[in-house]
Amino acid sequence: MMPREGAVPDAAESFYRLEPNDIVEAIEALGYQSNGVLSPLNSYENRVYEVGLWDEAPVIAKFYRPGRWSDAAIIEEHAFTLELESLEIPVVAPLRDADGHTLQHVGDYRFALYPKRAGRAPDLDDDGVLKQLGRFIGRIHALGAEEVFIHRPELSIAHFGDDSYEYLMDHGFVPSELEPAYEAAAESLLDAVDDAFDRAGPYRRIRLHGDTHPGNILWRDGTFNIVDFDDARMGPAVQDLWMFLNGDHAGRGRQLSVLLEGYDQFFDFDGRQLLLIEALRALRIMHHAAWIARRWQDPAFREAFPWFNSGHYWQEHILTLKEQLSAMHEPPLQWQ
């Protein structure tokens, strides 16, 4: 069964058809003088470009996808990163205009400008790097725990798990012959996720980065630049930690201890949240598949993920769900 098509709102059409001239005009409307050099950066959810300027360092322009976040939610994220920056935590915060605004509106577009920061993914096998990263995440969480997001959502089983499963089933993305297998694997995994959260018990919800994979951590000259708070939301602290762990069970346990040695200098970690690591990984797997499906009308997604709408992909995805279910039955990591 092919996924159903629907009407594309005018704002989304403008976003899909964003052209270099649109970008230059938007930047110059703020008083910048572009030299016409534009370089697209790796981003699917938003459109992100490095924009060259005359007599100034280039800036990074992030054009926001219509309908994903409200203006208030974007401004709330910007305020969080600006507050972190004021504490000399190495995040890349948006630039303010002459009136102090960070979110800009030009025509159909909403965008923000950022200073360019270079770097590469950190070497997470280096204990010194990992401990230093733990300290910075701990400082982010110490501030994140002081207030709550009002306009941004919580990382929840309902949104990342249940809604993702139902969207894929309801919109015809799973081939009909694989629907029974997908249904069985997804429901078993969601039951295991529910059980993991029950076993972990109540946890403190704090403001998070939300998507701290290594690609969002730029390492250069002995320090970090932490970028892209676009997925910032309320949730358990361990969400900002588990994606730094890799390798076998023993290796991940050792990395965890090093990471938390730095983290715990600035914010107390609740060890019960270790029961959530594989549950959060499961939710990320399910949410990622639904994320592509929800964006399937965007030509950039069809070009980037041409394999998504194939039977082979869904066979592999079902296998991944089953493997993740097995991982959830393994003993949780231990914090030494």
The CATH number for 262's domain is 1.10.510.10
CATH number at residue 64: 3.30.200.70
Q: Tell me the pLDDT band of 9, cut-offs 50, 70 and 90.
A: low
pTM: 0.94
Instruction: Mark whether 109 and 226 lie in a shared domain.
Output: no
The pLDDT, as a whole number, for residue 10 is: 66
For residue 333, being part of any structural domain is answered with: no
Q: Specify the pLDDT at position 309.
A: 86
User: Which CB contacts under 8 angstroms, 24+ apart, belong to 77-86?
Assistant: 77/152, 77/229, 77/230, 77/232, 78/102, 78/103, 78/112, 80/143, 80/144, 80/149, 80/207, 80/229, 80/232, 81/229, 83/143, 84/139, 84/140, 84/143
Residues 297-326 pLDDT 10s: 999 999 999 999 899 999 999 999 999 999
Domain end among 115, 148, 173: 115
Confidence of residue 222 (pLDDT cuts 50, 70, 90): confident
Long-range contacts of 306-309 (CB under 8 A, 24+ apart): 309/2, 309/3, 309/173
At 87-142, the pLDDT tens digits run 999 999 999 999 999 999 998 899 999 999 988 999 999 999 999 999 999 999 99
In a domain, 2, yes or no: no
Q: How many domains does the chain have?
A: 2
Q: Is the pLDDT of residue 195 over 70?
A: yes
Q: Classify 132 as helix, strand or coil.
A: helix
For residues 164-175, give the mean pLDDT: 96
Which residues fall within 8 angstroms of residue 305, CB to CB, at 6 or more apart? Answer: 292
Domain that holds residue 35: 10-69+94-115
Catalytically active residues, by annotation: 211, 228
Which tens digits make up the pLDDT trace of 68-93? 999 999 999 999 999 999 999 999 99
In a domain, 175, yes or no: yes
Residues 34, 28: contact at Cβ < 8 Å? yes
